[in-house]
Amino acid sequence: MRLSFLEPLYKQPGPFASVYLDTSRDSTVDDPDAALEVRWRHLRDALVAEGADQNSIIAVADSVGSDAAVPGTHGQALFTAHGRLALLDELPAPPARGRAHYGALPDTMPLIVQHAPGIPYLAVHVHYRGRHSTAARGTVRVDAEAGTWPLTKVSPGQRLHEEFPVAEWLRAAVRFGRALHGHARRIDAEALVVAGDVWARGILLRRLPPSLRAEVTTVEGAGGSPPGRALLEHRLESLFTGRLAAHDRALLDAFLTQHAHHGSSAEGLSAAVSALQCGRVKALLLNHHPKSPLRLWVGPEPGQLALTKGELRSYGVQEVHDDRADAALARALVGTGAELVVVPERRLRLCEGVGVLLRYVDPAPGA
C-alpha cells in the first residue's frame, strides 16, 4: 500500500492532535447527536490531559460529526497541526473505542490500517423479475459501481444505472459489457462482482470481453444496499475479508523470496529501524497490534529513529523523544517513500510483528 495520501500531513510541523471516534448516526439510541457529543467530550478531555492547546481542541471540535450525510456505521479520523485541521478522513468502520493523542507525531497507523487492503473492483447488480425469455415483456435494470475496498463504504464511487427492454438485452449486454471493461481498465480492477437474476446476469457474463470475464465472481442473495452505501456492500465484505490487494501480494511474495534465497530480508523492530535509517526499505510488512507497547526514540526528521536515546544522539541528533513505535514507523515510511503491507497473522506471523523488504541487496562478501 502506498502512503502518499499522508504526505500533506507530514509536511506540516507538529505537535499534532489525533482523534478517532465513532460518528455513526443510525444507532439504537434515542439521540445519536447527543451520544456523539458524549463520545467527543471524553476524547476532548483526553487531549486536554495530554497538553493540547485550545486552538487544536477547537479545530477538531468544528469538524467532529461533519459526516452526518454518511449513512450506516462509520467513524472519523481527524488530525490538527499547530492548532489547524490538517487532515480529515472517513473510517469505513467505527473504532472499537475512541482514541485521542496529542504529541510530536500524528497517530496515523489506525487510519492506514483502515485503508487496507485497498482492492479496486467493479460491483454489478442485474435486476430482473420475469419470464426467462427475450420474448418476455419487462425491463432489465443494471446498477454498476467502481470502487476501492473498503474506502467505498464511506465514499461510494460513481454509480451507473441503465435500463433495457428484455427483448433488447442480448444486444444491450454486449454494449454494457464493453462499458464495464472500460471502467475496469481505468481503475485496474482486480475483481468484477456480479449479483442478481441468474438468467439475466448470465447473458451479460457470456458477452463480457474475455479479459474481464476472468475476473468475475458471482454472488447470490439480495444485492441491494442502503442509499449512500457501497453497491453489494455486504457481499463485498465477505468476499474481501482477509484478502490482500494484488500489489500487496506481490510485495509479500517478494519478501518471502528474498528471505528464502538471499537471507537479506529481515524481521523484527531492530531490522526495520536499521533499514529505515538508511532509506533501504521498499516495503514494511506489519502484523497490526494496536495495543503493542513497543516504543522508539525519534528526532525531527523521518529517518531519525532508533531503539535507544543514546544511539540517536550518537548520530548527532539533539532533539529526541520517545514515541509509539507504530507512529515512528509510519512517519519514516511516508518520509522515505516506502510502502506498507498489513499482513494478517494467520497468513504470516512476523517477529515482533514487523518484516522488511529491502530496496536493494548488499553483495555477498567476495562477490
Domains and CATH numbers, the chain: 4-111 (3.30.960), 119-240 (3.30.420.60), 246-358 (3.30.1330.30)
**Cell 439475466 identifies what position?**
200
Per-residue pLDDT, averaged over 183-187, amounts to 94
Q: Given a cut of 90, is residue 29 above it in pLDDT? A: no
pLDDT for res 265: 65
For every residue of 265-313, DSSP letters joined together read -EESHHHHHHHHHTT-EEEEEE---TT---EEEE-SSTT-EESSHHHHH
Backbone φ and ψ for 80, nearest 5 degrees, come out as: -115, 155
Distance CA 231, CA 305 (A): 43
pLDDT for res 19: 98
pLDDT for res 210: 93
pLDDT digits (tens, 9 = 90+) for 145-172: 999 999 999 998 888 999 999 999 999 9
pLDDT for res 367: 45
pLDDT band for position 228 (cuts 50, 70, 90): confident
Contact 240/147 with Cβ under 8 angstroms?
A: no
pLDDT for res 365: 47
Considering the chain, what is the average pLDDT of its residues?
92
pLDDT band for position 364 (cuts 50, 70, 90): low
Contact 213/205 with Cβ under 8 angstroms?
A: yes
Compute how many other C-beta atoms are within 10 angstroms of the C-beta atom of residue 69: 7
Backbone φ and ψ for 281, nearest 5 degrees, come out as: -85, 120
Longest Cα separation, the chain: 82
Give bridge partners of residue 16 from the DSSP assignment: 81, 103
Distance CA 231, CA 137 (A): 27
Contact 358/133 with Cβ under 8 angstroms?
A: no
* Torsion angle of the four alpha carbons 316, 322, 326, 329, in this order, in degrees rounded to the nearest 10: -10
What single DSSP character describes residue 5? G
Write a three-state SS string for 26-81: CCCCCCHHHHHHHHHHHHHHHHHHCCCCHHHHHHHHCCCCCCCCCCCCCEEEEEEE
For residue 176, give every residue at least 6 positions away whose Cβ sits within 8 Å of its Cβ, in sequence order, or none: 142, 162, 164, 204
- pTM, two decimals, is 0.89
